[in-house]
Amino acid sequence: MALAEATVFAVIWAIVTAIAEIVFRRIKDHSMYYTISSQGHIALSAFNFLSSWLIPIFTFMAVMVIFALVRFRAPDNTPRPSPVQTLRNKWYILLWVGVSFALNIMFWLHPTAVDLETMFANWKQQQNQHPLIVNVTARQWEWIFSYPQYGITQAVNAQGLDELELPVGRPVEFFLRSKDPFHSYDIYADVIHSFWIPAFGIKEDVIPGETRTEFLVPDHVANYETSPLVRVQCAEVCGPGHPYMEAPLSIVTAKQFSQWIAHQKSLQAQGA
Ligand SMILES: [Cu+2]
Give residue 242 CA to ligand 1 midpoint distance, Å: 4
Sign of the Cα pseudo-torsion (210, 214, 215, 219, in order): negative
Give residue 141 CA to ligand 1 midpoint distance, Å: 7
Kindly report, residue by residue over 127-160, the tens digit of the pLDDT: 888 899 999 999 999 999 999 999 999 999 888 8
Mean local confidence (pLDDT), 96-105: 95
Whether 80 has a pLDDT exceeding 80, the answer reads no
DSSP letters, the chain, are --HHHHHHHHHHHHHHHHHHHHHHHHHHTSGGG---BHHHHHHHHHHHHHHHHHHHHHHHHHHHHHHHHHHT--TTS-----SS--S--HHHHHHHHHHHHHHHHHHIIIIIIHHHHHHHHHHHHHTTS-PEEEEEEEETTEEEEEBGGGTBS--B-TTS-B-EEEETTS-EEEEEEE--TT-SS-TT----EEEEEGGGTEEEEE-BT--EEEEE-B-S-EETTT-TTSEEEE-S--STTGGG-EEEEEEE-HHHHHHHHHHHHHHHHHH-
Give residue 89 CA to ligand 1 midpoint distance, Å: 51
Mean local confidence (pLDDT), 103-129: 90
Lowest mean pLDDT among 54-63, 174-183, 232-241: 174-183
Whether 272 has a pLDDT exceeding 70, the answer reads no
**CB contact at 8 A, 207 and 168:** no
Kindly report, residue by residue over 187-224, the tens digit of the pLDDT: 877 899 999 999 998 899 999 999 999 999 999 999 99
Whether 124 has a pLDDT exceeding 70, the answer reads yes
Model pTM above 0.75: yes
Give residue 234 CA to ligand 1 midpoint distance, Å: 4
Read off the pLDDT band of 60 (50, 70, 90).
very high
Give residue 108 CA to ligand 1 midpoint distance, Å: 31
CATH class as words, domain 132-271 = mainly beta
Mean local confidence (pLDDT), 163-174: 95
Ion ligand 1 nearby residues (CB, 5 A): 193, 234, 238, 242, 245
Domain residue spans of the chain: 3-72+90-126, 132-271
Across the chain, what does the average pLDDT equal?
91
Read off the pLDDT band of 31 (50, 70, 90).
low
Give residue 180 CA to ligand 1 midpoint distance, Å: 14
Give residue 71 CA to ligand 1 midpoint distance, Å: 50
Q: Pick 101 or 85 by higher pLDDT.
A: 101
Give residue 189 CA to ligand 1 midpoint distance, Å: 15
Query: What pLDDT does 188 receive?
Result: 79
Query: What pLDDT does 28 receive?
Result: 74
Give residue 193 CA to ligand 1 midpoint distance, Å: 5
